[in-house]
Amino acid sequence: MNFSYTNEMQEWLRSVRTFMDQEVYPNEAVYEAQLRAADDPFAYVPEVMESMKAKAKESGLWNLFYPDETYGAGLSNLAYAPLAEEMGRSLIGPEVFNCNAPDTGNMEVLARYGTEAQKEKWLHPLLAGEIRSAFCMTEPEAASSDARNIEASIKKDGSDYILNGTKWWSSGAGDPRCEVLIFMGKTDPDAPTYEQQSMIIVPMDTPGIEVKRMLPVFGYDDAPHGHAEINFHDVRVPESNLLVGEGKGFAIAQGRLGPGRIHHCMRTIGAAERALDILCARADARAPFGRALSEQGVIREWIAEARIEIEQARLLTLQAADRMDKYGNKTAKKEIAMIKVAAPNTALRVLDRAIQTLGAAGVSDDFPLARHYAAIRTLRIADGPDEVHKRAIARQELEEQRKV
């Protein structure tokens, strides 16, 4: 048992941190300004994003999320964790390093399950950061915490598949660079429960795809990325676009979720750390009743509790990453479920207190607090709500206790 970072990990960390300091933070306002100046923020990508990406790529800080050297930096989950944390401190950070969801998850799916042709066409441009992608699983009419409820259909028709259904919260589908999406639907509603679903690759410009609207998150449209509601009406794609084979959708989804969840947790901890920075700086700067906020007992309690909670959430995340590295995602599922619950709740508490410390400025966009709050609030829902994960943790705990 050893809690120190290796020299190599520290070296990576220094590089990412320096890049964040020199490139990302100073450009947050620039990014926002360029976006707001656009006629249609969903038809435009701020130029500063592409220039930051170019610099990150050049510096070798690119695709760090991918654990296999063929496609990425070859870092273990444990090694990647502190880097993702750094990126997560800024809402524009992950994309700069080509480490943003849902593209990371889609790249993993294509790398693990894609044919050579599929990789050539979609994986390589994604790895190069040239295109973006979306993932279409959640549906408005189904309780999506239970994948069995999916209603969208994928029907064979000659050498094609025809897709029908409505998806929403297809994040990233608003981006003008989004050229492809992965669609989950049922190929056989009569198959065994977990073999009814399949996943298929769908080019964004296929006829029959209608982006109905962009869903706001606490008022944020998250342009140009966006969270789309999409109608699929007789959308026809060749059978070669199917991933792995019919009935493999659920299994692919499971494999996709582990790393996706831990990446979210790492970034979330970064957001919490930044909120604590902002809280402390403001507490030093303001003295409403003649005494700096940072001298006041209640604020000090908040700072201490934030520090304690963040440390604990980080350690739990690192432990989960370590177990994933050592024993695989399946064995580590309890650990993954635990951080899926712990990290967002921790970050929301810290963010809420940072907002309270800043007062009116905290709920505005002058600081990245309200926006992070909204984004992280969705993590208590996405990929299964807290309650579903807690139930799974309890079930496993009870089983383990019975064995003793």
Residues in 305-364 at the binding interface with a second copy, rule: CB under 8 A? 305, 307-308, 311-313, 315-316, 318-319, 322-323, 326, 338, 341-342, 355-356, 359-364
Nearer to a second copy, 201 or 338 (CB): 338
Among 13, 153, 296, 349, binds a second copy (CB under 8 A): 296
Judged by beta carbon, residue 242 or residue 324, the one nearer a second copy is: 324
Do the Cβ atoms of 171 and 102 come closer than 8 Å?
A: yes
The SS3 assignment for 5 reads: coil
Placement of tokens 């990302």 in the chain: 24
Segment interacting with a second copy (CB under 8 A) among 66-74, 172-180, 254-262, 272-280: 272-280
* Choice from 83, 92, 370, 383 touching a second copy (CB under 8 A): 370
Instruction: Please state the φ and ψ torsions of residue 118, each to the nearest 5 degrees.
Output: -60, -40
* 216: preceding bond cis by omega (within 30 degrees): no
Q: Which amino acid is at 19?
A: F
How far is residue 17's CA from residue 248's CA, in Å, rounded to a whole number? 39
Site for a second copy in 16-75 (CB under 8 A): none
What residues numbered 178-237 form the site for a second copy, per CB under 8 A? 215-221
The answer to whether 379 contacts a second copy (rule: CB under 8 A) is no
Q: Which is nearer to a second copy, 19 or 168 (CB)?
A: 168
Give the integer Cα–Cα distance in Å for 160 and 197: 17
Q: Out of 14, 212, 300, 330, which residue is the one contacting a second copy (CB under 8 A)?
A: 300
- Give me the least distance between CB of 382 and a second copy, in Å please: 7
Beta bridge partners of 184: 199
Task: Give the binding range for a second copy (CB under 8 A) out of 65-73, 199-207, 262-270, 384-392.
Answer: 384-392
- DSSP structure string for 36-61: HHSSSGGG---HHHHHHHHHHHHTT-
Whole-number minimum distance, CB 151 to a second copy, in Å? 13
Shortest distance, position 152 Cβ to a second copy, whole Å: 16
CB of 339 to a second copy, least distance (A): 9
Answer yes or no whether residue 13 interacts with a second copy by CB under 8 A: no
Distance CA 351, CA 89 (A): 12
What is the closest distance, in whole angstroms, from the C-beta atom of residue 279 to a second copy in the complex? 9
Query: Taking contact as CB under 8 A, which single stretch among the options 66-74, 194-202, 239-247, 377-385 is the one that binds a second copy?
Result: 377-385
Tokens of 217: 């998150």
Q: How far is the CB of 311 from a second copy (least distance, A)?
A: 6
Tell me which residue of 138, 146, 198 sits closest to 170, measured CA to CA.
138
φ, ψ (nearest 5 deg) of residue 249: -60, -45
Size of the site for a second copy (CB under 8 A): 93
Q: Which of the stretches 23-31, 199-207, 230-238, 300-308 binds a second copy when contact is defined by CB under 8 A?
A: 300-308
Report if residue 251 touches a second copy, rule: CB under 8 A. no
Which of 54, 301, 328, 330 touches a second copy (CB under 8 A)? 301
What whole-number distance in Å separates Cα of residue 336 and Cα of residue 316?
A: 9
Contacts of residue 385, defined as CB under 8 A and 6 or more positions apart, other chains included, come to 145
Q: Which of 81, 109, 86 is nearest to 97 (CA)?
A: 86
Q: What's the burial of 57, exposed, middle or buried (CB within 10 Å: 0-12/13-18/19+)?
A: middle
Site pattern 97..136 for a second copy (x: CB under 8 A): ----------------------------------------
Of the two residues 242 and 354, which places its CB atom closer to a second copy in the complex?
A: 354
CB-CB contact of 211 with 230 (8 Å): yes
Which amino acid belongs to residue 43? A
Rounded to whole angstroms, the Cα distance separating 369 from 91 reads 10
Return the residue of 3, 69, 116, 205 that touches a second copy, per CB under 8 A: 3
Exposure b/e, 151-167, CB count within 10 A at least 16 = b:
ebbbeeeeeebbbbbbb
Q: By C-beta, is 98 or 138 nearer to a second copy?
A: 138
Residue (53 or 353) nearer to a second copy, CB = 353
Compute φ and ψ for 398, nearest 5 degrees.
-60, -40
Site for a second copy in 274-293 (CB under 8 A): 276-277, 280-281, 283-284, 286-289
